[in-house]
Amino acid sequence: MKTLRGLITAIGVVLAILVPIWRPWAGDPPSDGKGPEQAIKAVLYQQYRHINQGDYDDAYALFADRSQKSVSLEQYTAFFEARPGYAVDPYKITHVDVQSEDAATVEVVFTADSAVAKPEKFVRDQQIVREDGQWRVVMRDEQIEIFHAAD
């Protein structure tokens, strides 16, 4: 019986040493919720919540500097003023691709709706970048065109 306990203990010690090296999950370790993925998702989700609450200034503030240089706050809010009741709901990030410590792309599925248009479902890739330690959303080219047209 002592030999069996000793064998089991030895196997446990060997596994404790080998598993972190071997990484049987074949790829990156499972997310512990503390990696950049959570913060990357959070900034886009926060932006959608601000839009849904009509807090366009706060939603705009979550855009990267280069996006804010392309589209003014006035152009951005004009888009929503022309679409009363605009909402992004439901929305879900289905994939996060972290390219570096300062850049990622997320795939997001969302439905946009307003009082003046039918609900429309989208699947889009959205670039997220880190500026001054904070994750920020980069406007897609199609968004820039839409916000410019609303002006």
Burial class (CB in 10 A: 0-12, 13-18, 19+), 109: middle
Q: Does any domain span residue 94? A: yes
Q: β-strand 103-114 against 87-100: which pairing, if any? A: antiparallel
Cβ within 8 Å of residue 58, ≥6 positions away? 50
Domain count across the chain: 1
Whether 100 is in a domain gets the answer yes
- Please check whether residue 45 lies inside any domain of the structure: yes
What pLDDT, on a 0 to 100 scale, did the predictor assign at position 105? 98
3 state SS of 100? strand
pLDDT at 136 over 80: yes
pLDDT at residue number 28:
35
Question: Is the residue at 6 inside a domain?
Answer: no
How much of the chain is helix, strand and coil, in % rounded to 5?
45, 30, 25
Residue 16 has pLDDT above 70, yes or no: no
Q: CA 51 → CA 1, 12, 16, 150, distances in Å?
A: 66, 52, 48, 16
* 66 vs 29 pLDDT, higher one: 66
Q: How confident is the model at residue 151 (pLDDT cuts 50, 70, 90)?
A: confident
Q: Where are the beta strands (DSSP E) in the chain?
A: 87-100, 103-114, 117-131, 134-137
| Residue numbers of the domain that contains 94 | 34-150
Residue 101 confidence class, pLDDT cut points 50, 70, 90: very high
pLDDT more than 70, % of the chain: 77
Confidence of residue 150 (pLDDT cuts 50, 70, 90): confident
- Identify whether 99 is part of a domain: yes
4, pLDDT greater than 70: no
Distance CA 65, CA 146 (A): 18
- The CATH number for 59's domain is 3.10.450.100
